[in-house]
Amino acid sequence: MAEGEEPEPFAVKATKLSGDARHIATGKRKSSVARVMLTPGSGAIEVNKRKLEEYFPRLYLQSVAKQPLVQTGYETNVDVRINVHGGGISGQAAAVRHGIARALCEVDPDLRAELKRRGMLTRDARVKERRKAGLKKARKRPQFSKR
């Protein structure tokens, strides 16, 4: 697989959700938190009461957010309502991806192994390192002067 290519969807028969089913999960990345609700539907994705394309105008961020749905084949079977806050736009897209993946595991537990193998269920723990006293930034030291 070349750099930038998206992995192929894995063949899973998408299970039908019952009419009143609601699956809720939380995804996190950096300081962003996304609360995701999956309901049976036609594939509409709503982020903070706006369409996905409006909230994440960059195609890359849209593809990051939709990745679990596309790869599991659920993109046309469920409607997704997301409430996301905190952090920047990139962290929010990754939090949405994490939340959708966790909600899909509630819908169909058979997806868990493959989603975990692809790294979508792992909470990315990398956060900005704190600034230390006596330094300009987390690791940047002040300019050294011999004399």
Nearest alpha-carbon partner for 13 in 69, 73, 68, 70: 73
The structure tokens listed for 34 are 């996304």
Angle at Cα 36 formed by Cα 4 and Cα 28, nearest 5°?
Answer: 60
Domain spans, the chain: 23-117
The structure tokens listed for 96 are 């949405």
Pairing of strands 45-47, 78-85: parallel
124 or 12, higher pLDDT: 124
pLDDT in tens, 44-99: 999 999 999 999 999 999 999 999 999 999 999 899 999 999 999 999 999 999 99
First-to-last alpha carbon distance for the chain, in angstroms, is 55
What is the assigned CATH class of domain 23-117? alpha beta
